[in-house]
A = this chain, B = another copy of it.
C-alpha cells in the first residue's frame, strides 16, 4: 500500500531574487511539479513599501515557468531584522511506495473569489473555514488536533477594488487599504480557528474582527497579498496516510519572551531529530508591556513595531533553536494570544 511523502527544504537566499538554491534542488533531483508551496523570508521592511516580496515572487514565477509549472503557493514575508537570515522553505509532496504511517502531511486548497465587501467580515471567516477544511481533506487529516500550522494567503483591498464594490452598491469594511490587510489577516485567522474548532462561528460578529483578540487560532499564520482575489491555504499536520522522516508540532507563545511553551513543544518531538524549520508569528504586544514592563515598539516613529517584534522574537527563538534562518512573520491578528503567537516546529527524524 502506497503513501504520500512530504519533504521540506530550507534554502539560503543571497537576495530577494536569488532562486539559485532552489534551482540546485531541481538539479539534484527535486521534481519542480512536486513543489506545493514556498514560504520565503526576504530582506525588505515587511511593511507597505516592501518590494522584496514581489521581486522574490516574480523570480520564482519565472523559475517555475521555465519548468512549465504553475500554481505553486508563494508566501513571501518581508523582514529579516536582527540576525534573521533570508531563506526559502520549500514544501513538496509526492506519492511513495513506502507504507503509510504517521508523518508530516501537507494539504492545500484555494477558496472561491472573495467578494470585496465580504473582506474583513463574517463571510470571509466562513469562506476560509471551508477552505481550511478542504485543505485538511487534501492532507488526509480528519482530526483538527492533528493540524499544527495553517498558512493562509489572503486578499486585500485596493482603491480600485473599493471602487468596484461601491459601484455595485456594496459597502466595504474599510476604505483604508492598509487596514484592509489587517482585517483580511484577522478574518482569515478566525476562519482557521472555526475550522479547527478553536472558535464558535456563531459567536463571532463582524465587529469582533481585529478588536476582540481573546478569540484566536493557535495554529494560523496569515499573510495578505495584492496579487490574489481568493485565498491560498496550506495545512501542515501529522497525517496517517503519509510516510517519510518529517514530523511537526507547535507551541503558542503567550508573550514575546515565553520560551517555556516553545521548549515544551520542541521536547515533544524526538530528541534525536534534526530541526528542519521553525515557522512563527510575532507582534508588538498591544498592551505596551511585555512581562509587566514597558516596551517602546509602538511609540517608535523611526522603526515600525512589526520590525522591532520580528527582531526581538527572532532573537528569542534563535536563542532557543540555535539557528537564524527562522520564518518569523509579523501581523499576528487573531493568530495566537495578543502579544504572543503560534510557533510550528518541523523536524526530520533519523532514518
Contacts and interface: CB of A to CB of B under 8 A. Distances in A.
A43 interface: yes
Q: Which of A45, A257, A319 has the most CB of B within 10 A?
A: A319
A55 interface: yes
Interface in A209-261: 256-257, 259
B324 A257 contact: yes
Given A52-B51, A295-B82, A301-B45, A315 B311 contact: yes
A45 B45 CA distance: 11
Given A290-B324, A316-B318, A319-B320, A301 B304 contact: yes
B55 A256 contact: no
Contacts of A294: 12, 14, 85-86
A59 to B, nearest CB: 8
Tell me whether chain A's interface is mostly helix, strand or loop, or mixed: loop
Interface in A285-328: 285, 288, 290-291, 293-304, 307-309, 311-320, 322-325
A83 to B, nearest CB: 4
A59 B83 CA distance: 30
B12 A312 contact: no
Given A16-B51, A293-B324, A311-B311, 19 more contacts: A12-B293, A14-B160, A15-B51, A15-B54, A17-B58, A45-B301, A49-B299, A49-B300, A49-B301, A50-B301, A51-B51, A83-B309, A84-B312, A85-B295, A259-B322, A303-B303, A313-B315, A315-B317, A315-B318
Interface of A: 12, 14-17, 43-45, 47-52, 54-55, 58-59, 80-87, 158-160, 177-178, 256-257, 259, 284-285, 288, 290-291, 293-304, 307-309, 311-320, 322-325
16 contacts: A12-B293, A14-B294, A43-B51, A43-B300, A45-B302, A48-B299, A51-B55, A55-B55, A80-B295, A82-B295, A83-B309, A85-B290, A177-B298, A256-B318, A257-B323, A311-B311
